[in-house]
């Protein structure tokens, strides 16, 4: 599939482009990461993708570091470094440029309109992330139940998410997820 090129270059190109299309943050880009990493490039299996998502959620730092894990599994430390920079730098440069521009004309109404237009898009994208991850993770009834309970608790209480991840890990360790 990927015979024509250097995998590190493929990582740079893939995530560099994705960076500019991640409307609403890293979690909006999860369907695209899954499509590229699992379906197109065959870097990871479905199960490995779900594992990597779990590791990223358990780690400190911004959500975007899921690409560090994908990069590592493709090309080791170099892959991790390149994927991380490719996902962060283009949008960082854009943010720098836009913030310079906006301090000069801060009373434009465009930011408000753009934001109002993009919020529904990013919710749709994150919903799709949830669906794709649920399809890979929730293969049994207990698994779906863990997801539902975590979603319910996180929506209705201010419980630290760490405890829900820990509880999920314990249920998994007990062999109840299958």
- Range 76-105, binding other proteins (CB under 8 A): 77, 80-81, 84, 87-88, 90-92, 94-96, 98-100, 102
- In terms of Cβ atoms closer than 10 Å to its own Cβ (0-12, 13-18, 19+), residue 101 is exposed
Decide if residue 12 touches other proteins (CB under 8 A).
no
**Binding flag, residue 150, other proteins (CB under 8 A):** yes
Enter the DSSP assignment of 60. Answer: S
Residues 60 and 49: beta-carbon distance below 8 Å = no
CB closer to other proteins, 9 vs 163? 163
Minimum separation from the CB atom of position 108 to other proteins (A): 11
Instruction: Work out whether 9 is an interface residue with other proteins (CB under 8 A).
Output: no
Instruction: Please state, as a whole number, how many other Cβ atoms lie within 10 Å of the Cβ of residue 150.
Output: 17
Task: Pinpoint the alpha helices (H) of 29-160.
Answer: 30-34, 46-58, 66-104, 110-137, 141-156
Binding status of residue 121 toward other proteins by CB under 8 A? yes
Cβ contact 126:28 at 8 Å = yes
Give the shortest CB-3-to-other proteins separation in angstroms.
21
Identify residues 38-57 at the interface with other proteins (CB under 8 A): 39, 48, 50-57
């Amino acid at each position: 599939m990927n015979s024509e090129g250097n995998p590190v270059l493929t990582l740079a190109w893939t995530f560099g482009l994705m960076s500019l299309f991640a409307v609403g943050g890293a979690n909006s880009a999860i369907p695209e990461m899954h499509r590229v990493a699992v379906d197109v490039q065959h870097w990871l299996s479905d199960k490995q993708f779900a594992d990597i998502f779990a590791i990223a959620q358990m780690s400190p730092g911004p959500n975007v570091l899921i690409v560090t894990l994908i990069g590592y599994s493709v090309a080791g430390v170099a892959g991790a470094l390149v994927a991380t920079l490719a996902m962060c730098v283009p949008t960082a440069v854009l943010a720098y440029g836009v913030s310079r521009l906006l301090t000069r004309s801060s009373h434009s109404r465009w930011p408000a309109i753009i934001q109002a237009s993009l919020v529904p898009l990013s919710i749709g994208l994150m919903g799709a992330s949830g669906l794709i991850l649920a399809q890979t993770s929730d293969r049994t009834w207990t698994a779906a139940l863990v997801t539902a309970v975590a979603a319910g608790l996180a929506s209705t209480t201010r419980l630290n998410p760490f405890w829900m991840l820990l509880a999920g890990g314990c249920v998994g360790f007990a062999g109840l997820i299958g």
